[in-house]
Amino acid sequence: MIRTVAIVSKPGRDDIPVLLHYILEWAAEHDIRVKIDVSTADYLHRADGMDRDRLPEECDLIVVLGGDGTFLSAARAVGPRQTPLLAVNLGGLGFMMTIGPDELPAALEGVARSAFKLDSRMVLEADLERDGEVVDRYFALNDIVVANSAVARLLHLEAYADGEFVCGYRSDGLIVSTPTGSTAYSLSAGGPVMAPDVAALTLTPICPHTLSNRAVVLPATAKVEVRILDGDEENFLSIDGQVGRHLEPHDRLRLWRASHTVDIVQTNDVPFFDVLRSKMRWGER
């Protein structure tokens, strides 16, 4: 039963107010409570907007109005709570968004009848260690990236899987990707496309300084360690392209499959490869 719905909105969109009023009317008709984030409150000229990190508390569903960036922000706010996300694409590619604005009415009615399925996506969990101490923990739906932001500066890394040495990297960086993230940065760096239900993760080097350095696919059970061997203040850690911090030489990043997933509401059955062909023009000449 859906009793409380939260709304997360991308700012600066002229088409969002109409959708918001429709959602509010639908919620009132079904006696559903609505919570809103700050961006949504701005559209409605209200003062009860909440920080996204607090929004998922006691919610049964989150409606995301925006693109992939807004979706990733909402997923990060949900964290281990596993509150389902209904994603309405108002962006450009919107690869993770499941419906368009014209499909929203039917999707909401399906939600009201509990006539939907959940697409559970793998999440990466990571600890950043410095001088033997864990200084931060992160969760990523797409990818975790170690890179050097300076121009023409190679980063020296080593990767291990379940304690076994994989290889050393002289490259612009390294992407550790989930199946969901395989169609994001990892794909641009030459990594493989993985179906969302594949239990695996990839290590994809960014512009490696050797022709033999290619992406490696590991089982989802693998415990990965990335060691930063050298570098400077330009070394950077990025989580889903949204959260980041500077890295120091000899930092260690330990990554594994999180115990929770990100659950995406699916009100229609669209095969993954149909999405790949339509949104990324897969296989076209």
Within 10 angstroms of residue 21's Cβ, the number of other Cβ atoms is 12
68 is catalytic: yes
H/E run at residue 78: helix 68-78
Catalytic pick among 37, 68, 172, 251 = 68
Tokens of 173: 């960086």
Q: How far apart are CA 260 and CA 270, in angstroms?
A: 24
Pairing state between β 4-9 and 61-66 = parallel
- The four Cα atoms 104, 109, 114, 116 give a dihedral, to 10 degrees, of -40
Sign of the torsion formed by the C-alpha atoms of 253, 149, 182 and 189: negative
Phi, psi (deg, nearest 5) at residue 142: -95, -65
For 266, the enclosing helix (H) or strand (E) is strand 252-266
Residue 99 contacts residue 89 (beta carbons within 8 Å): yes
Catalytic center residues = 68
